[in-house]
Amino acid sequence: MTPDTRTPDFLELDGLLTDDERHVRDAVGRFVDERVLPIIADCFEHERFPTELVSEMAALGLFGPTFKDYGCAGLSNIAYGLIMQELERGDSGLRSFASVQSGLVMYPIHRYGSAEQKERWLPALARAEKVGCFGLTEPDGGSDPGTMKTHARKSAGDWVLNGAKMWITNGTVADVAVVWARTDDGVRGFLVEKGTPGYTARDIHHKFSLRASVTSELFFDDCRVPERNRLPEAAGLSAPLSCLTQARYGIAWGAIGAAQACYREALTFAEQRTLFGQTLIHKQIIQQRLADMLRRITTAQLLAWQLGRLKDQDRMHHTQVSLAKWNNVRMALDVAREARDLLGAGGISVEQVPVRHMLNLESVITYEGTETIHQLIVGRQITGVEAF
Ligand code: TGC
Ligand code: FAD
């Protein structure tokens, strides 16, 4: 078989997927080609999240797809990864929306919620009749959530929240915010509903990254939340950190999609652009750059696939996810920058995909743990020494 250098799938990973996984990938891929790519550059340019696509994503079963109950599809974790890959081939903003809804809102409710909370929220979130957000990061620093200032105090059977969260995806559009706050018993999670007195959200503008995604600040000013809205099984910082593991897993796959989009455009350009009497593909340096992109994407694909296998076998460790998020996002950012440069001046236009992906990936390498934080997590796993 001739290795596929177009998709690219150089090591025939397609053959490692089940029929269901291929079917899911192709269905989401068609959605991205037909519904996302025609509008996404305009959304990015005009700082608009394409809300009109959310119900279509829900109809495709893209929210909470690995859960077996509450109206979800019960897909494998590899299928989930492929969904993220295809969405991020469209735009990191779309993948962010799905990451937050599935990994950061449905996951904590499914794992840490009461039966009543699950019944109330999970089917509605799966159908995207309700949208959620996840509030962990605070204005004084996101890398060290253990020092969060937002706090909740018990008062006449309710909880009273005070504090602020910053850089929150979907904050102003969310019907429910999963909010992490310090209590006398350590960190606890709360479901704060839109319209609760004392809870407000406001969008952050002037972003040059993830422009097709809503990013917000959340404020809690004596915000009273009933005990029934506390996640009863969430105790301590490990609860929000376990949610991050889910979202980071999806990002490790998603970054591959962004890199694929950039590589394909660079390859097509190099085949068509004639300079010094020949198309660019005849130049050694261009071939070396394309080969390097292919090498990086291929190793990231293998890494994501094995991570997915481990997750499907319930053997995945969160430090393995850190290694994959670090490697694959760094790979995608490097490929996007290379592709941007290879396109010459045209590469600075949002009419070509690399600059949009490149700018988006500047957020992706920062959120869900910065590259440095993931290096330190892996470093701690190697040495047993904490160096944060
Ligand atoms: P540490 O002592 O390491 O851990 C406390 C407890 O948690 C456990 N744990 C984890 N469990 C599951 N998954 C993980 N990833 C875990 N990491 C740690 C750990 O075993 C321990 O359990 P126990 O039972 O012993 O108590 O805590 P630390 O305070 O030293 O923190 C370590 C550090 C720096 C790794 C952590 O704070 C960290 O990951 N910081 C980065 C914060 C971050 O990534 N924030 C992301 C916010 S959400 C976001 O960005 C969404 S973007 C959304 C989009 O896609 O649009
Ligand atoms: P800081 O933590 O202040 O870090 C600043 C710098 O210091 C970084 O370069 C970092 O790598 C470095 N650094 C940190 N610790 C060390 C150390 N020990 N040694 C050496 N260097 C160190 N958060 C949410 O809770 N929910 C969301 O939905 C969400 N969505 C986001 C969407 C976007 C578009 C963005 C950009 C961010 C989002 N975030 C969200 C926040 C994100 O998780 C944080 O930005 C991230 O965790 C880093 O926190 P910080 O920006 O405060 O940087």
Domain borders along the chain are 13-126, 132-229, 238-383
Q: How many angstroms is it from 95 CA to the middle of ligand 1?
A: 21
pLDDT value, residue 367: 98
Q: Report CA(360)–ligand 2 centroid distance (Å).
A: 15
Residue 172 phi/psi, 5° resolution?
-80, -20
Give the mutation target among 88, 167, 364 for probing the ligand 2 site: most ligand atoms within 8 A of CB: 167
In testing the pocket of ligand 2, which one of 367, 375, 386 has its CB within 8 Å of the most ligand atoms? 367
In whole angstroms, how far apart are CA 348 and each of 45, 182, 337, 354?
13, 44, 10, 8
End-to-end CA distance of the chain: 47
Ligand 2 pocket mutation, candidates 99, 143, 148, 215, criterion most atoms within 8 A of CB: 143
Q: Which run of H or E residues covers position 219?
A: strand 215-226
CA atoms of 20 and 13, how far apart (whole Å): 14
If you average pLDDT over residues 304-316, what whole number do you get?
Answer: 98
| Helix or strand (DSSP H, E) at 164 | strand 158-169
Given 1.10.3720.10, 2.40.110.10, 3.40.50.300, 3.40.640.10, which CATH number is that of 132-229?
Answer: 2.40.110.10
Confidence at residue 54, expressed as pLDDT on a 0 to 100 scale: 98
User: Is 368 one of the catalytic residues?
Assistant: yes
Span 244-251, average pLDDT: 98
3-state secondary structure of 178: strand
Q: Tokens 């909740």 label which residue? A: 152
Q: What percent of the chain has pLDDT over 90?
A: 100
Residue nearest to atom 37 of ligand 1 (CA): 144
* Distance from residue 308's CA to the centre of ligand 1 (Å): 20
Q: Is the CB–ligand 1 distance for residue 245 below 6 Å?
A: yes
Domains 13-126 and 238-383 share a fold: no
The residue whose CA has the least distance to atom 4 of ligand 2 is 143
Just give the CATH number of 13-126.
1.10.540.10
In the predicted structure, residue 1 carries a pLDDT above the cut 90: no
- Condensed to tens digits (0 to 9), the pLDDT of residues 332-384 reads 999 999 999 999 999 999 999 999 999 999 999 999 999 999 999 999 999 99
In the set 21, 88, 265, 368, the catalytic residue is 368
Give 71's contacts (C-beta < 8 A, 6+ positions apart).
122, 123, 126, 127
Task: Residue 125: name the closest of 150, 149, 97, 148 by CA.
Answer: 97
Per DSSP, the three-state class of 380 is helix
Instruction: Please tell me what DSSP assigns to residue 220.
Output: E
Arithmetic mean of pLDDT, 89-97:
98
100 C-beta closer than 6 A to ligand 2: yes
In CATH terms, the fold of domain 238-383 is: Butyryl-CoA Dehydrogenase, subunit A; domain 3 (1.20.140)
Integer Cα distance of 267 and 208 in angstroms: 26
CB-ligand 1 contact for 111 (6 Å cutoff): no
Provide CB contacts within 8 A for 267, sequence distance 6+.
5, 6, 290
Distance of CA 207 to the CA centre of its chain: 17
Find the mean pLDDT for residues 57-77: 98
DSSP 29-54: HHHIIIIIHHHHHHHHHTT---GGGH
Ligand 1 touching residue 90 (CB < 6 A): no
* Lookup: tokens for 9: 């799938």
